[in-house]
């Protein structure tokens, strides 16, 4: 089934990254030289997405500027003959009308952010990408769209048992290859009550029925309107699958994950790999 639209919820406060996120959106934090949100958009493009819907909030205008023309910059690069840099910034511009911004007036939760985009989604399945879950290697959304037929789908991976309280946790029923049939999903269960260690990371394909559930505005874990609860409410009506994606995921909403991602992505870049590996080896050796 074709999935052509993607929602990028970027309305969160990013409190775990203060003070960096006081005036700068968390999604604009760079991994090497590219903001998190750009990686997410590029993953969506690689999966065939054609319409990009950002759900923004206060202090998020840098994201809009990032995906728009910067006439002064482009003129300056042209004048200085910096062709490569010019091509880079111009290559980020999507076709007119394919990018839209919806404002979430208050950060009432991920489910609420997605519901804010309901008028942009004319009754079709839509992808959701959380930019702070960064994936190195095979683009996860493409794997999902290739496998998607109907209903709801989430990207899943096993996490340490003491971390279930940070994730949506699914109860697996059957497994076939990368696909897991999901019997239940619970948001942030304590390790003592978690049904498994199979966690949802920030890639989803959701069907229109989820928006009907989100419209009920029920608050869940943390007093927020959670996407997880609306996915759970649809389990008896439509198929619900998890996809064990192939890439390596970094939680860039946390400081440690962000630092690890910077090192891993630097190592994946041919022009940086040797120098960063040499520096890492020397640093580690000098500790001994």
Q: List residues near ligand UTP by CB under 6 A.
A: 9-17, 26, 55, 104, 107-110, 112-113, 130-132, 253
**Token pair of 263 as six digits:** 């090192």
User: Is the preceding peptide bond at 42 cis, omega within 30 degrees of 0?
Assistant: no
Closest distance to ligand UTP from the beta carbon of 259 (Å): 15
Closest distance to ligand UTP from the beta carbon of 275 (Å): 31
* Residue 29 or 243 with smaller CB distance to ligand UTP: 29
* Residue 62 or 108 with smaller CB distance to ligand UTP: 108
Helices and strands (DSSP H and E) totals, the chain: 10, 13
* Residue 137 or 222 with smaller CB distance to ligand UTP: 222
Handedness of CA 282, 286, 287, 288 (dihedral sign): positive
Closest distance to ligand UTP from the beta carbon of 214 (Å): 12
Closest distance to ligand UTP from the beta carbon of 103 (Å): 11
Size (the chain), residues: 288
Compute the distance between CA of residue 66 and CA of residue 199 in angstroms, rounded to an integer: 31
* Residue 12 or 151 with smaller CB distance to ligand UTP: 12
* CA-to-CA dists, residue 255 to 15, 22, 128, angstroms: 11, 15, 23
* Closest residue to ligand UTP: CB criterion: 12
* Residue 25 or 125 with smaller CB distance to ligand UTP: 25
Is residue 64 within 8 Å of 56, Cβ to Cβ? Answer: yes
Is residue 242 within 8 Å of 154, Cβ to Cβ? Answer: yes
Closest distance to ligand UTP from the beta carbon of 229 (Å): 14
């Amino acid at each position: 089934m074709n999935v052509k639209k993607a929602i990028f919820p970027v309305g969160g406060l990013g409190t775990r990254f203060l003070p960096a996120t006081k005036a700068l959106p968390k999604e604009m934090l760079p991994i090497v030289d590219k903001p998190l949100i750009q990686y997410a958009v590029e993953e969506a493009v690689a999966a065939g997405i054609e319409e990009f819907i950002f759900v923004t909030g206060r202090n998020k205008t840098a994201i809009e500027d990032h995906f728009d023309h910067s006439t002064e910059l482009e003129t300056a690069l042209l004048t200085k003959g910096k062709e490569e840099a010019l091509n880079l910034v111009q290559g980020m511009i999507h076709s007119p009308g394919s990018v839209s911004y919806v404002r979430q007036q208050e950060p009432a939760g991920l489910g609420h952010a997605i519901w804010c985009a309901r008028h942009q989604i004319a009754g079709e399945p839509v992808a959701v990408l959380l930019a702070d879950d960064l994936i190195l290697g095979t683009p996860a959304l493409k794997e999902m769209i290739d496998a998607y037929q109907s209903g709801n789908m989430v990207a899943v991976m096993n996490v340490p048992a003491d971390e279930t309280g940070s994730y949506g946790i699914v109860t697996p029923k059957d497994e076939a290859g990368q696909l897991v049939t999901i019997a239940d999903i619970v948001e942030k269960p304590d390790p003592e009550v978690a049904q498994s260690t199979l966690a949802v990371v920030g890639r989803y394909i959701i069907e229109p029925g989820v928006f009907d559930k989100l419209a009920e505005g029920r608050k869940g874990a943390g007093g927020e309107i959670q996407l997880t609860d609306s996915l759970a409410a649809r389990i008896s009506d439509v198929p619900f699958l998890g996809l064990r994606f192939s890439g390596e995921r970094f939680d860039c909403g946390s400081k440690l994950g962000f630092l690890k991602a910077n090192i891993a992505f630097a190592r994946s870049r041919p022009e940086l790999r040797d120098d960063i590996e040499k520096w890492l080896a020397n640093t580690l050796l000098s500790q001994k």
